[in-house]
Chains A and B, each alone.
Chain A
Amino acid sequence: MFKLPVYMDNNSTTRTDPRVLEAMMPYFTEKFGNSASRNHAYGWETEEGVDLAREQVASIINASSKEIIFTSGATESNNLAIKGVAAMYKKKGNHIITASTEHKAVIDTCMRLERDGCTVTFLPVDKYGIVSPQQVADAITDKTIIVSIMAANNEIGTVHPMKEIGAICKAKGVLFHTDATQAVGKIPMDVEDMGIDLLSMTAHKMYGPKGVGALYVRRKDPRVRLDAMLDGGGHERGMRSGTLNVTGIVGMGMAAEICRKELHSESERLLKLRNRLHEGINSKLEDAYLNGHPIHRLPGNLNISFAFVEGEGLMMGIKDVAVSSGSACTSASLEPSYVLKALGLGDELAHSSIRFGLGRFNTEEEVDFVINDVVRAVNHLRDMSPLYEMHRQGIDLKTVQWAAH
């Protein structure tokens, strides 16, 4: 038997792998030195730990360890990359290109820069959530300094054609940043092959601890320069001052190492589990629609809209399953997910979505449990859904005049 509720929200965060915790432990107790202390053994041994972690993190994206800047997480990395470039290259231009489905850490960063005088192009996506390389090419002007396109989407799991977008940026002489928070450790990421100049990542999405992340900053062809956001001791090649979070960094290194070694077998296992979940749901329920791309998606991500049922209400019905909903009925705005809306999804389907995030610790038994629980809850809610009733009577919901409140 397994623990309830079943944790299937691994796109939000992941459990720290016991092997990661084990690697971190000594750095809380005996090896507590400041890695910047150059004059004694306490500093040297923690510096060694950080150096190893830097190698491990670099190697999962095929970078050199000198190109890794440790941060507090992907939000900071995204801020540092985009704001740092905007400030450093302002003489060259002020135009930024990104996608409408990016994480808020990118969107809100770009919107702040827009208020500060930059011009931002938010590219629309197709029905699967993809920005095409051609769209990027068409949007680049002589004022463009950076293109920021996420590697994989956090809600719908859609994976972007990194290599093609990278090639366009290279050809046009524009820096290419990617928020690879969801992708690193889940799908192969290679900054050389994909032509990536800056890459954001975080430890807690890959079975490492929360509160630590990294930014890859290319050192040659081209050498990327950033205006730092924090002033201080000049750590991390002057790009990120502040005493290093050694325990977190060591944990991130180990997490990356495990992901790199197990990536192939684990992504195959997750894909099988995801297909089992998807097919299990589809065989028992009608009108359950996949959001995101059917093939170009993270192996562990399944986002489904259960028509005629509201997402938050559904989550309440599956209290033994921990998942996320794209419906934000809890917020005052009642606005459903902007990512789902960007796909062109109707409001009722955007309000009906559930994101399942499968991870390293999920099992087949858990998947079967989730299938049954979800099917039961959806049927229960459809029995009391006026929309389902209208649908069964052959009424097209789009033609109904709603008395909106």
Chain B
Amino acid sequence: MAYSTKVLEHYNNPRNVGSFDKDDPMVGTGIVGAPECGDVMKLQIKVNPLTGLIEDAKFKTFGCGSAIASSSLATEWVKGKSLDAALGIRNTEIVEELALPPVKVHCSVLAEDAIKAAIKNLQDKQAHAPQTVNS
């Protein structure tokens, strides 16, 4: 099966590979997928406390080229967005952008899930965080 130029480009030059400290209160971490399915994605977002916007994102992915490209693209897209705007990213947009064939649609679904999981993790964290008074 031939890969699209965009998938190859992301695979060869993945954007935002890496990790943030998952205990940082401004970091949300989403880990989705399972080794037995052949894909595991970890996507992290870092939110600016003043603006509420996602100022940075990182990923690590175990999976095929399309899974790597989908998560790389997802980190690019969430940057600069509010949490609500990031929640609006649809897997179909990833499919379109990367020209994924039908057998690879699950990679884009996983990337969308990873964004959602990261945001949920951040929100849970903030809901349960002890209230501190900032001087």
Which residue numbers of A lie inside 8 Å of B, CB to CB?
308-310, 312-313, 316-317, 327, 329-332, 334, 336, 346-348, 351, 383-389, 397, 402-405
Contacts and interface: CB of A to CB of B under 8 A. Distances in A.
Given A310-B63, A405-B106, 14 more contacts: A308-B62, A313-B64, A313-B68, A334-B38, A347-B36, A384-B17, A384-B60, A386-B31, A387-B35, A387-B62, A402-B33, A403-B32, A404-B36, A404-B37
25 contacts: A310-B39, A313-B62, A316-B3, A316-B65, A330-B64, A330-B103, A331-B103, A336-B36, A351-B36, A384-B14, A386-B42, A386-B60, A387-B40, A388-B62, A402-B33, A402-B34, A402-B35, A402-B36, A403-B31, A403-B34, A404-B36, A405-B33, A405-B34, A405-B37, A405-B113
Contact of A405 (B60, B64, B68, B109): B109
B86 interface: no
Most chain A CB within 10 A, of B1, B36, B67, B109, is at: B36
B65 A312 contact: yes
Given A330-B1, A403-B34, A386 B106 contact: no
Interface in B25-61: 31-42, 59-61
A26 B65 CA distance: 47
A384 B61 contact: yes
Contact of B61 (A316, A327, A385, A402): A385
Contacts of A347: 34-37
Interface residues of B, number: 34
Interface in B49-94: 59-65, 67-68
B19 interface: yes
B117 interface: yes
Nearest to A331: B103
B11 interface: yes
B34 A334 contact: no
B98 interface: no
Contacts of B60: 384-386, 389
Overall SS of chain B's interface: mixed
B110 interface: yes
Contacts of B37: 334, 347, 404-405
Contacts, number: 99
B110 A405 contact: yes
A309 B62 contact: yes
A404 B38 CA distance: 10
A294 B43 CA distance: 39
Nearest to B8: A316
A405 B63 CA distance: 14
A348 B36 contact: yes
A386 B103 contact: no
A385 B17 CA distance: 9
Given A310-B62, A385-B60, A402 B3 contact: no
A5 B103 CA distance: 25
Contacts of B106: 334, 405
B113 to A, nearest CB: 6
Contacts of B19: 389
A51 B121 CA distance: 74
A353 to B, nearest CB: 11
A348 B68 contact: no
Minimum-distance CB pairs A-B, first 4: A347-B36, A348-B35, A402-B34, A386-B42
B34 A329 contact: no
Contacts of A309: 62
Nearest to B101: A330
Given A309-B62, A316-B11, A389-B19, A384 B68 contact: yes
A308 B63 CA distance: 9
Contacts of B33: 402-405
Interface string B93-125: 000000000010010011001000100000000
Contacts of B34: 347, 402-405
